[in-house]
Structure 1
């Protein structure tokens, strides 16, 4: 049965159901909203029929076909063959581009498809000059085209020796699954129009040093993209852990805490106000976790408070490095005999990342999670900007914000209905309470003591789509 409330089905989040009882009234006057807590302040949300439709449209069969095609290129190592039409990363990236172009043709040219390339040399894993080439497809938004959300997967593969560019390296799960999921998300979402833009990225050079992500992140920065979310999908097809656990009902979302770009002054402010667990990446992860509860059957996501797995990395990191919100979505149970391994059998153990290790229904489930999350954010208004908070030594808490940072350079959110305030106990993993306060820029929660909760604000569209929650101050800002 589908979970029907924000946190139902998550035992570690169910504390929200028995904590507080409130009484309230709501008054909006001269642009200021006043709200007291009530039993209805438990987080409320109206399901979007469009997102249910999108989730159901994702095809495991199409994902399987794409993974088999990518595996069929033999190796997709960054330093591998580029001239052959049947083997190596050159053939793989040309095929990916052709697939995006087919998708674009089906939607009347709705995707801008291009190679993004840069020559890399003198690096530990790319010592000689090598052109690192990613494939990018952009679905432009209808009213806010410079606001972007992105899904990515990695083209390249590897075996035990990271410099071995000739041996067979199927990379079925790592990471043909992520690329296939990105292609499938594009197929599904390109049937619809969204207010903001969506980027579908097949990134190269991940195993050799996260170069494809670095190149695209720098491009986004140089071109002033208002990039609100990066969903990096790296290994979304395996359900069998090396520990023997087999589970197709859970997934992990890795999200960094404090922004890498935080200044000394911002760190000092955060020390006294909080925000260590409310970076935009963390609140992006909470948003995706919520989408899993509402729209994806039999999937419970675990938000992991780390940039990535312990002392490891992924292609969201270059975006985080530049201050963009980004997370890694992946399977819960990894099988290390199937990662970065030469194809072989030793002592009865089969090593290698082959097609037999991929569960296509599970890959489709995680792809659907990406698709509904992208659609929800792209149809939501721009997240509120310059969110601030006050209430020290008072009985009430006041939040203020702007619709966007600069009215001369950003859209006026034509589909904006208003704003919703969220709050939770400081040790709660998910938002517990919310209050819609209307199209105002200041709201006061009477008798809600600032010391006891964390707070945030989300934008709400006329048809009920919400942005991720924005925590007050620089620690939680999603940018312009």
Structure 2
């Protein structure tokens, strides 16, 4: 009897623990339907087509119809135009053309460069958010100035461009409150020149680039040297402290201890929650750096202009597939060739992007003037805010997490524009987001101290 009672107690505890760990996942059928349309076959076809141009070096041939960066960008633009025609003229397709001056390093003479863009305008006139997704279409071999030799760039970064094209193909069939911008960037390997130009243009023209997702190398699932094979994890790099922080903002951050709550870091948390909700067998790893150690990417110029920007990239890298001349090594083929891309893994990461863009594009805008009230000393936390412009939310989530937690731990739903919670602001961080009746959530706002 004692053994039987002990067995029942253990079973009861297991049931209680299992129930406590259960989490209901609710997916929007519209977003799930779009995810199903993301095709590994289409992604592979795009990569092989980009590789067929032999080299997409920034300084390569612009006159040939079959070889070089000129032929590549013409084809990318034609694909955007085909999606536009197939989907009822929803996309605005263009070149973002500029002259890159000689830099005495990787650009020996003034050169005409072109980013390729397709814009899906939002449907809410009061919603000025622009959600941007990009990859770079230029490629290189070992010598960054070698513009002649075969530089397939299948993973770096035809994979990112294939993802962007596939997103445009699928998402342009639908409408969103916010504007979505699909970009194939140029000049990344020469010095992030395409992204730097577009970020500067966005700043000067007053674009509200609400979030930029830079996809650079998202198709390799094998880790060189470590022999790790991982097709279920992806890294999101995000800076904690904004690059353009003012002295006043730095002082406020230091007082509140919110060095881990910059807009890019908050966006990364959003990407993790949303992506893992919609994409099966994928874990989003939050990397607390702007980019890999001492390295950079096309999100960096946007960060430097004050926009929220993150990098999405494969979990493990194979350096035999990056910036390499095509040759036979001692044990294997070296070079960034299409046969080494994991297309189902690329499909997952493309779906991650779609889930984030779709959920955010359908969500109401963030609440405005979010304040954490400091009128009196109390072990409760009071917040107030204003409703956003445009499509109105059904309510708001107040998010909380312990100060040592990398992700949000609890969400409390409110329909009013104020809330009081029995959690001390000394011991927790707080965030606020809008949500509609279908569960589409805005990005998270970090409250400011106020009265």
The TM-score, its normalising length taken from structure 2, stands at: 0.91
For 1:413, what is the secondary structure of its paired residue?
A: coil
Q: What is the CA RMSD across the aligned residues, in angstroms?
A: 1.9
Aligned partners of 1:423 and 1:465: how far apart in 2?
19
User: 1:390 offset after TM fit, Å?
Assistant: 2.7
Say whether 1:398 aligns with 2:382.
Answer: yes
- Long gaps (5+) in structure 2: 1-15
Q: Where does residue 33 of structure 1 map in the other structure?
A: none
Partner of 2:420: 444
Separation (CA, whole Å) in 2 of partners of 1:190 and 1:214? 26
**Partner residue, 1:301:** 284
* Pair 1:166 & 2:148 matched: yes
Following superposition, the deviation at residue 348 of structure 1 comes to: 3.1
Secondary structure of 2:55's aligned partner? coil
Q: Following superposition of structure 1 onto structure 2, how do residues 413-452 of structure 1 map, counting pairs within 5 Å?
A: 413-438=390-415, 440-445=416-421, 447-452=422-427
1:312 CA displacement? 0.3
Which one of 18, 33, 37 corresponds to residue 53 of structure 1?
33
2-side partners of 1:313 and 1:157: how far apart? 16
Say if 2:154 and 2:341, in contact at 8 Å, map to a contact too: yes
Listed as ranges, the matches of 1:319-330 within 5 Å are 319-330=302-313
User: What does the per-residue CA deviation read over 1:40-75, in whole Å, with 9 as the maximum and x for residues that have no partner?
Assistant: 9x9976421222112111000000000000000000
* Distance in 2 between residues matched to 1:389 and 1:294, nearest whole Å: 29
Q: Measure how far apart 1:393 and its partner are.
A: 2.9
Change (3 A) 1:413 1:398: same
- What do residues 363-408 of structure 1 show as CA deviations (whole Å, max 9, x unaligned)? 111001101110000001111233221347311112222334xxxx
Report whether the alignment pairs 1:223 with 2:205: yes
Question: Is residue 468 of structure 1 aligned with residue 449 of structure 2?
Answer: no
Distance 1:189 1:264 in 2: 41
Match of 1:477 in 2: none
State the distance in 2 between where 1:137 and 1:473 align. Answer: 36
- Secondary structure of the structure 2 residue equivalent to 1:431: coil
* Structure 2 residue 144 is matched with structure 1 residue 131: no
**Which residue does 1:180 correspond to in 2?**
162
Match of 2:42 among 62, 68, 83: 62
Aligned residues: 428
Pairwise CA distance, 1:291: 1.9
After alignment, is 192-201 or 386-395 more displaced? 386-395
Q: Which is higher, the Rg of structure 1 or of structure 2? A: 2
Contact 1:232 1:316 in 2 (8 A): yes
Paired residue secondary structure (1:416):
coil
Q: Is the 8 A contact 1:118 1:133 kept in 2?
A: yes
1:422–1:455 contact (8 Å) kept in structure 2: yes
Deviation per CA, 1:270-313: give whole Å up to 9, x if none.
11102211111111111111122211111111010000000000
What is the CA deviation profile of residues 294-333 of structure 1, one whole-angstrom value per residue up to 9, with x for unaligned ones? 1111111101000000000011111111111111111101
Matched residue of 1:368: which SS?
Answer: helix
- 1:135-154 correspondence to structure 2 within 5 Å: 135-144=116-125, 146-154=128-136
User: Out of 244, 248, 251, which is 2:227 matched to?
Assistant: 244
> Does residue 207 of structure 1 match 2:189?
yes
Q: What are structure 1's unaligned runs of at least 5 residues?
A: 1-16, 19-38, 405-411, 475-480
Higher mean displacement: 110-119 or 415-424: 415-424
Q: Which residue of 2 aligns with 1:253?
A: 236
8 Å CA contact 1:43–1:431 kept in 2: the answer is: no
Q: Is the 8 A contact 2:131 2:209 kept in 1?
A: yes
- Larger deviation, residues 219-228 vs 254-263: 219-228
Deviation at 1:349, TM superposition (A): 3.8
Cα–Cα, structure 1 residues 382 and 44, in superposed 2: closer, same or farther, change >3 Å?
Answer: farther
Aligned to 2:362: 379
Q: CA deviation at 1:92?
A: 0.3
* Distance across 2 between alignment mates of 1:377 and 1:280: 15
Deviation at 1:463, TM superposition (A): 2.7
Q: Output the CA distance in 2 between the equivalents of 1:328 and 1:196.
A: 21
